[in-house]
């Protein structure tokens, strides 16, 4: 598994594999969700970290999971 340097939220620069970053990003996306009374067009805060929504963790994870530069195609089973 090729490792590369990426910027992970909360960790700074890391040399994780893409799969590890994927796992970390999906964990952040699962945990960092808007507070339960989220209303569109009104500010809300993250249930996990309390930052205003979208919080930096969710923003980072969303950006990672939509990132386009994947060096290897994902295996299909
Ligand atoms: Zn958060």
Domain assignment of residue 12, yes or no: no
Is residue 64 a part of any domain in this protein? yes
Cα(77) to centroid of ligand 1, in Å? 33
Is residue 61 within 8 A of residue 28, CB to CB? The reply is yes
Q: Which of 27, 14, 62, 64 is nearest to 3 (CA)?
A: 14
Distance set, CA 24 to CA 51, 65, 67 (Å): 19, 10, 14
Say if 36 falls within a structural domain. no
Q: How many domains does the chain have?
A: 1
Q: Element (H or E) spanning 8, and its range? A: strand 6-8
Compute, in angstroms, the gap from residue 23 CA to the centroid of ligand 1: 16
Residue 55's domain comprises 43-69
Q: Which residues have a beta carbon within 5 Å of ligand 1, which is an ion?
A: 32, 46, 48-49, 55, 57
Longest CA span, the chain: 43
**Would you say residue 61 lies in a domain?**
yes
Report pLDDT digits (tens) over 2-47. 677 889 999 999 999 989 999 999 999 999 998 866 566 677 899 9
The confidence band for 69, taking pLDDT boundaries of 50, 70 and 90, is low
Whether 52 is in a domain gets the answer yes
In a domain, 26, yes or no: no
Tens of pLDDT, residues 57-68: 999 999 988 875
**pTM for the whole thing?**
0.74
Collapsing DSSP states into helix, strand and coil, what is residue 23?
helix
Residue 55 within any structural domain of the chain: yes
Residue 76 banded pLDDT, cuts 50, 70, 90: low
The residue whose two tokens read 């339960």 is: 36
Q: What is the pLDDT of residue 71?
A: 54
């Amino acid at each position: 598994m090729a490792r590369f340097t990426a910027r992970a939220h909360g960790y700074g620069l890391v040399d994780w594999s893409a799969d590890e970053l994927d796992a970390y990003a999906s964990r952040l996306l699962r945990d960092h969700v808007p507070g339960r009374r989220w209303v569109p067009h009104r500010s809300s805060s993250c249930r996990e970290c309390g930052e205003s929504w979208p919080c930096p963790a969710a923003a980072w994870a969303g950006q990672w999971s939509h990132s386009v530069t994947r060096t290897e195609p994902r295996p299909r089973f």
